[in-house]
C-alpha cells in the first residue's frame, strides 16, 4: 500500500494552544466523516481526502517536507522513504559498552524489560488502528497481578537517543519522521497527519524509541549471561556493568534463582521497519539495530538467528540483510526463519529473498499444521545457522480471531509455540531474546501473560521464594478461552 507524497510545504507550529487543540478536534471530526466512507486500508485515498478538506496540516520541528528527496513508494513502503546509507554513524565497541540503556540497574532483577513509556496514545486516534496500544501495560499488569514479578523487577529502558538511532538509520530517514504526514502513513492512522508533530513525537514515536532501547537491553541481558564482554580497558568495563545488571548475580529477595540465557522485552519487534523505510506500525528498526549492537558489544557473536513467528512477513530486517547492512558490520551471518501467512501484508517478494527458511502458511492455519512446522523448521535452522544468539519475534497476531493475521492458532498453541522456541534454544545453550511484536486483540495481552507464566513453570526460567503454581492465577478471558480448540499434530508440506 503506497503513500501519496505531499507536494506543498507544511507549516511549522512551535506550540499548541488550547484553541488549536480544539481546532484539531474539529478537523479530525470532519475528516473522520470522510474516512467512514472509505475503506481503512486505502491509505492513499484517505490521505487525499485529508488534503482536500478545509484543514491545514501543521508539523512542528521543520518547515518543509524533506521526504520528497530520494523517496521511494511501492506496495511495501507504507508512506516511508528510501535513503542513502552514507550518513549512518556506527558506534565503536567501546561506545556500545558505555551505553546506559537501563534506568534502574540497582533494583532490576529479572531479565524482563518494560517501561510504562511503551504505551501509545494520541487523543484516541490510536483506536482507528486495530493494534492494542496498551498491550504492553496490560501484559505487565497481568504478570504483577499473578505475583509472577513485582513492579520493580523488570529492567526499565531509557529512550533511544538520536545518536543510537543513527547507528542504523540515515539522518534523512529520521528527518522524515518530523513530518506528521509520513508518520501517519507508517502508523496506518491517516488522521495523525493532521496533528502537530510535537504531539506525534511525544505520544507515538517516543514510546517506540523506549521500546527500541528495550530490545537492545533485552538482547544484552540474554547475551551477557552466556558471553563475556571484552574488557579493552577498565572504564569501558565499569560503564558496561552499569548498563544492565546480570540477571543471575543478585536476585531480588523474593526470587531464589534465575536460569541464564533468556530475556523478554514486553514490547518491540518492529519487524516491518528497515534502515531506510518504515511501515506497518513500525517506525524504527529495533531488530536490525539490536543485531548491530550485540555484535559491536560482543564481537565474538557473529552468527545470529532471527525466528519470526508474527503472522506477517518480517520484511524490515530482511531488506537490511539484502542491502548488506550486517555484512558491512562484520557479522558472519544473520539467518532468518520466518513462519508467516503468505496471503496478507506485506507481500514483500524482494525481502523474501533474504529468508533462509521460509514457512509460508495460508489464512486459517491451525495448531495442527503450525506447531509441527515450527518444531521441524526451528531444529533445522538452529543446526544450519550455528547461531550464537536468537532474536525471537513472538507476534501473537496469529491468534484465532485476529482481524489482520487471519490465522486460527489457539491460545494453547501460542503457549506451546513459545515453549518450543525457548526449549530448543536453551537446550542448545543459545541465548534467546523474546519480543512481543504484533497482536491486534484485547485478548492478546492475556495470552502473552499466560505464555510467560507457562515458560517460567515448564522451563524453570526463575524461581520465587516459596514458589507454587502461579500460572493458574492468570485466568483466561472468555474470548481467549473460546479460542483453544486446536492442538493436534499432523504432517503438511512446508511450502504453499
User: Which active-site residues does the annotation give?
Assistant: 272
Return the residue matching grid coordinates 545457522: 385
Rg (Cα) of the chain, in Å, rounded? 22
Q: In DSSP terms, which residues pair with 305 in a beta bridge?
A: 335, 390
CB 307 within 8 A of CB 393: yes
* Nearest one of 14, 9, 15, 12 to 62, comparing CA atoms: 12
Q: How far apart are CA 23 and CA 13, in angstroms?
A: 14
Q: Residue 445 has which C-alpha cell?
A: 495481552
* Nearest one of 199, 196, 277 to 10, comparing CA atoms: 196
Q: How far apart are CA 73 and CA 276, in angstroms?
A: 12
Q: Residue 222 has which C-alpha cell?
A: 540474554
Return the residue matching grid coordinates 511549522: 12
Dihedral over alpha carbons 118, 120, 121, 127 (to 10 degrees): -140
Element (H, E) at 187: helix 180-187
Q: Residue 157 has which C-alpha cell?
A: 529502558
Q: Residue 301 has which C-alpha cell?
A: 557473536
Q: Residue 294 has which C-alpha cell?
A: 550485540
Amino acid at each position: 500500500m503506497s503513500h501519496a507524497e505531499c507536494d506543498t510545504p507544511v507549516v511549522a507550529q512551535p506550540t499548541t494552544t488550547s484553541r488549536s487543540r480544539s481546532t484539531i478536534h474539529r478537523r479530525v471530526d470532519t475528516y473522520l466523516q470522510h474516512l467512514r466512507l472509505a475503506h481503512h486500508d486505502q491509505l492513499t485515498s484517505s490521505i487525499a481526502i485529508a488534503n482536500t478538506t478545509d484543514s491545514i496540516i501543521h508539523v512542528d520541528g521543520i518547515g518543509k517536507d524533506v521526504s520528497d528527496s530520494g523517496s521511494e513508494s511501492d506496495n511495501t513502503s507504507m508512506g516511508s522513504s528510501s535513503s542513502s546509507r552514507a550518513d549512518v554513524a556506527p558506534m565503536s565497541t567501546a561506545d556500545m559498552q558505555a551505553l546506559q540503556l537501563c534506568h534502574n540497574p540497582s533494583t532490576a532483577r529479572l531479565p524482563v524489560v518494560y517501561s510504562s513509556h511503551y504505551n501509545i496514545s494520541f487523543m484516541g486516534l490510536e483506536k482507528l488502528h486495530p493494534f492494542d496500544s496498551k498491550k504492553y501495560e496490560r501484559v505487565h499488569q497481568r504478570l504483577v497481578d499473578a505475583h509472577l514479578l513485582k513492579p520493580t523487577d523488570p529492567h526499565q529502558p531509557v529512550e533511544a537517543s538520536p545518536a543510537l538511532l543513527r547507528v542504523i538509520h540515515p539522518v534523512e530517514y529520521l528527518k522524515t519522521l518530523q513530518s506528521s504526514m509520513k508518520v501517519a502513513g507508517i502508523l496506518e492512522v491517516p488522521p495523525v497527519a493532521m496533528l502537530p508533530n510535537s504531539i506525534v513525537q511525544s505520544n507515538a514515536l517516543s514510546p517506540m524509541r523506549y521500546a527500541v532501547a528495550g530490545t537492545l537491553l533485552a538482547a544484552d541481558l540474554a547475551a551477557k549471561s552466556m558471553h563475556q564482554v571484552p574488557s579493552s580497558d577498565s572504564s569501558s568495563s565499569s560503564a558496561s556493568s552499569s548498563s544492565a545488571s546480570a540477571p543471575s548475580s543478585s536476585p531480588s529477595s523474593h526470587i531464589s534463582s534465575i536460569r541464564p540465557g533468556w530475556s523478554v522485552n514486553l514490547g518491540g519487534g518492529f519487524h516491518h521497519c528497515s534502515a531506510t523505510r518504515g511501515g506497518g506500525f513500525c517506525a524504527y528498526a529495533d531488530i536490525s539495530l539490536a543485531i548491530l549492537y550485540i555484535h559491536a558489544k560482543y564481537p565474538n557473536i557473529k552468527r545470529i538467528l532471527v525466528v519470526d513467528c508474527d503472522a506477517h512477513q518480517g520484511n524490515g530486517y530482511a531488506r537490511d540483510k539484502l542491502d548488506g547492512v550486517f555484512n558491512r558490520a562484520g557479522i558472519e551471518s544473520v539467518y532468518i526463519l520466518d513462519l508467516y501467512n503468505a496471503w496478507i501484508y506485506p507481500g514483500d517478494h524482494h525481502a523474501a529473498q533474504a529468508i533462509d527458511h521460509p514457512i509460508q502458511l495460508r489464512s486459517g492455519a491451525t495448531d495442527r499444521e503450525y506447531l509441527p512446522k515450527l518444531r521441524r523448521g526451528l531444529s533445522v535452522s538452529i543446526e544450519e545457522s550455528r547461531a550464537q544468539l536468537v532474536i525471537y519475534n513472538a507476534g501473537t497476531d496469529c491468534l484465532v480471531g485476529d482481524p489482520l493475521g487471519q490465522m486460527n492458532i489457539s491460545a494453547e498453541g501460542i503457549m506451546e509455540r513459545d515453549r518450543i522456541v525457548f526449549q530448543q534454544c536453551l537446550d542448545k545453550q543459545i541465548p534467546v531474546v523474546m519480543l512481543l511484536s504484533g497482536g491486534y486483540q484485547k485478548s492478546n495481552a492475556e495470552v502473552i501473560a499466560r505464555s510467560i507464566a507457562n515458560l517460567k513453570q515448564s522451563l524453570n526460567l526463575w524461581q520465587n521464594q516459596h514458589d507454587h503454581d502461579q500460572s493458574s492465577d492468570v485466568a483466561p478471558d472468555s474470548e481467549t478461552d473460546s479460542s483453544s480448540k486446536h492442538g493436534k499434530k499432523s504432517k503438511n508440506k512446508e511450502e504453499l
